[in-house]
Amino acid sequence: MPEHGEHMDDATMEGATASDAMSGTVPAAGTASPDPSSRDVTTGDDARSADRPADGGASSVGAAAFGPADDDDVIVPLTMPGTRRDLRRRAARRRTLTIILSATLVVALAVGYALGDIAGILPGPLTLDPVARRDVPAARTVRGAGIVAEADDAAAPDAAAVQRLVDAFGATDGVGDDWSVVVTDRTGATLASHAADTPREPASTLKTLTALAAASTLDMGSTLATETYLTQGTATPTLTLKGNGDMLLSAGESDPSHVNGRAGLATLARDTATALAQRGIGTVRLVYDDTLFGTDRYPATVADNNPDNLYYTAVSALAVDGGRQWGGAEPADPDLFHAYPTLSQTPALDAADTFATLLAAAGITVDGSPASGSAPADASPIAAVESATLSEIMAFTMRHSDNTLAEEFGRLTALATGEANSPQGGVAAVRKTLTSLGIDLTGLTMADCSGLSTGSKVRVSTLAAVQARNLTAAGAAAAAEGLSIPGLVGTAATRAVADDTAGLLRVKTGSLGEVTSMAGTVTRLAGGTLVFAVVVNTPDDMAEARAAIDTFVDDLARL
């Protein structure tokens, strides 16, 4: 069997010199070439690879052995089995290094973003800001009440006894001749009355109609957002402050402990400034959007009963503390007050001015003064704060007898039912909703949704029907939950009530120059619930007529 050396090219063999043979690089003529199976036991490579440079090129010994090549010489490179293996190893090392560097970079970016989020520089859920904790106020000291008999909602007093109380009320000095009273059981069945179907001016007891209609129409668990929108594309970006009906904003931080000020403009300004800084924006032009309620904001005759703007301001998409101008005499608790400060007649503009000041304090320059405008359509807000729930706002409205907020509930009901976006539309929405609930509106004239405007007329039988409905209308419970408690909460907090009946009355009061009224429910000491409504117009003596109402209602609880 021929040896491997017999396969070498003859020309190559002829060019080999004696020194080549002695060097061991090229076998001499007549000698056998190394056995290709002869491998270094240490490395596993061919033994002759020891002469190969580390970079896989030709060895210097080999080059010298071949010497200068003529133009016609053809040099055949030797195949080195370890070269491709080395390349694969280097490629694998490069891939491993790339993966390690990429993973390190990803981790570094993630950690950096998390730190930026925590510091408030970048958006995200992480923060070191203190969590607002709700402070629970100390319990108020209240008067003790008598023990109510075993509950029996169907229990009713003797109708004759009720009628005697009605007659005694009418005979009280100071009441005069222009009065109406009705008392019913919880189902609305009349027990006693006087001129119950004569329409009279109701003052703020008219708010009970608006409250029932709104609570039966709106989602009372929803809130009203105040938002900011950014529009770019000009030298100075435009920031739009958009209101959605929250007229109980505060100028400070959002306050979860109160209805009035649940959403704070300072919080909104801070969050907006953060969003702008993340976009590299430090200067904006400020626009405020007060378009929610159109241009018709004042009922026709509301000014007749609004001296010095104490009782009504324009229904607006946004306002701070309802537009109240305390002049440094703000109450310690924004939800509890009895004074009537002057109301600003430009509440939305005032809120925008306050917001501009707060933006500046947060590091954002406002170019010029706030201007009226509209938020961009189909855009998302960059920041927002949320009001208290509509149920909470309604309770605030009823307990403070807030005319502007009552009008707003009428307007929100109009928007929800497709009526006109106007004071007349609010009235139409309330009437339509009450009719659908089965309330008899015969003789009803509504000049507005609050009872402040001149010209409203209602029968006490309608007022009582609304209260009877409140006792069973689970879906509209907010209309009843906001009623005042004589001697304790709301506009009736200063009304007279005896120790044994304290806490048993839920009422809505009404007062105008020539009107005193009250409507609500009474839990009897003997068990059962009564519904009542009383309206006195042009009394001979206003103070005596008010006192007579207090006595009458208090006595109902003892029947």
For residue 238, the tally of other CB atoms under 10 A from its CB is 19
**Contacts of 373 by beta carbon, 8 Å cutoff, 6+ apart:** 240, 287, 288, 289
- Among the ranges given (104-108, 369-373, 375-379), the one the predictor scored with the smallest mean pLDDT: 104-108
- Could you tell me which residue, 77 or 457, shows the higher pLDDT? 457
pLDDT cut 90: percent of the chain above it: 67
pLDDT tier at 89, thresholds 50, 70, 90: confident
pLDDT of residue 25: 41
pLDDT tier at 316, thresholds 50, 70, 90: very high
pLDDT tier at 35, thresholds 50, 70, 90: very low
Mean pLDDT of 88-117: 84
> What pTM, to 2 d.p., does this model score?
0.75
- Could you tell me which residue, 201 or 111, shows the higher pLDDT? 201
- Among the ranges given (132-146, 219-233, 509-523), the one the predictor scored with the smallest mean pLDDT: 132-146
Mean pLDDT of 437-448: 98
CA dist., res. 392 & res. 259, Å (int): 7
pLDDT in tens, 392-406: 999 999 999 999 999
C-beta of residue 215 within 8 angstroms of C-beta of residue 477? yes
Query: 535, 472, 459, 464: which is closest to 196 by C-alpha?
Result: 459
Amino acid at 216: S
The yes-or-no verdict on residue 353 having pLDDT over 60 is yes
pLDDT tier at 21, thresholds 50, 70, 90: very low
Tokens of 207: 């708010």
CATH numbers and ranges of domains, the chain:
159-218+395-557 (3.40.710.10), 223-389 (3.50.80.20)
3 state SS for 474-488: HHHCHHHHCCEECCC
Long-range contacts formed by 130-133: CB under 8 A, 24+ apart: 132/253, 132/254, 132/256
pLDDT of residue 152: 62
- Among the ranges given (31-35, 427-431, 482-486, 489-493), the one the predictor scored with the smallest mean pLDDT: 31-35
**Contacts of 54 by beta carbon, 8 Å cutoff, 6+ apart:** none
Mean pLDDT of 423-428: 98
Mean pLDDT of 72-85: 53
C-beta of residue 172 within 8 angstroms of C-beta of residue 544? yes
Mean pLDDT rounded to a whole number for the chain: 85
Cα–Cα distances (Å) from 187 to 195, 381, 464, 469, in that order, read 20, 48, 10, 8
